[in-house]
Amino acid sequence: MVRTAYVERVVEIPEGIQVTLEGDTLRVKGPLGENVRRFSHPRLRMTVEDNQVKIYCELPRKKEAALVGTWQAHVKNMIKGVKEGFEYKMKLVYSHFPVKISVKKDLFYIENFLGERHPRVAKILPGVKVNISGDTITLTGIDREKVGQTAANIERATKVKNFDVRVFQDGIYIVSKGG
């Protein structure tokens, strides 16, 4: 087996975006806010120079070479988040019982789901804004992982149990992911 001597990925920093690296913490500032993330690995290195973020590893193993690409994707998402933001659209579907949805602080409440007396609750992660318009829910934020996890929390809160899902198709589902 032949190992490549060096793996490097480069992410260009667009104009209007400020990227700083302090130790193993990367800060990305842009018009929509600031994303901060810690990148720590004993063999991977990251540098910020000449409007570029360079991620590299010398004599990488297979997993380390793959991790270089993963870090590149994270940095791109951080830059896209502070520049454009991320948006998930979800749809409320019900046919048996009228469902009422609401947001109180950092919790998303689903009331009367399948006629249940107690509301189902999903956690909204910090930095994610939830907008309810009829049966459409829009989640927006600058951190892709937090917006996606909040959408997953809401979707999971309306999981149908002890019913035939072919008949009871009620729930809240992700219909589009954009940014």
- Please list the pLDDT of the chain residue by residue as tens digits (179 residues): 556 688 999 999 999 999 999 999 999 999 999 999 999 999 999 999 999 999 999 999 999 999 999 999 999 999 999 999 999 999 999 988 899 999 999 999 999 998 999 999 999 999 999 999 999 999 999 999 999 999 999 999 999 888 888 888 899 999 999 86
Q: Under DSSP, is residue 162 helix (H, G, I), strand (E, B) or coil?
A: coil
Domains 6-83 and 86-178 share a fold: yes
Residues 6 or more apart from 34 whose CB is under 8 A from it? 27, 28, 82
Q: Where are the domains of the chain?
A: 6-83, 86-178
Helix (H) or strand (E) holding 84, with range, is none
Cα–Cα nearest to 158, from 139, 138, 174: 174
What is the per-residue pLDDT for 166? 84
Q: What pLDDT shows up at residue 5? A: 84
For 6-83, give the CATH class. alpha beta
The reported pLDDT for the residue numbered 3 is 61
CATH topology for 86-178 is Outer Surface Protein A; domain 3 (3.90.930)
What DSSP designation does 124 have?
Answer: P
In 3D space, the residue among 146, 160, 149 whose CA is nearest the CA of residue 110 turns out to be 160
pLDDT in the model for residue 35 = 96
Kindly state the helix (H) or strand (E) to which residue 151 belongs, with its residue range.
helix 144-157
| pTM to 2 decimal places | 0.90
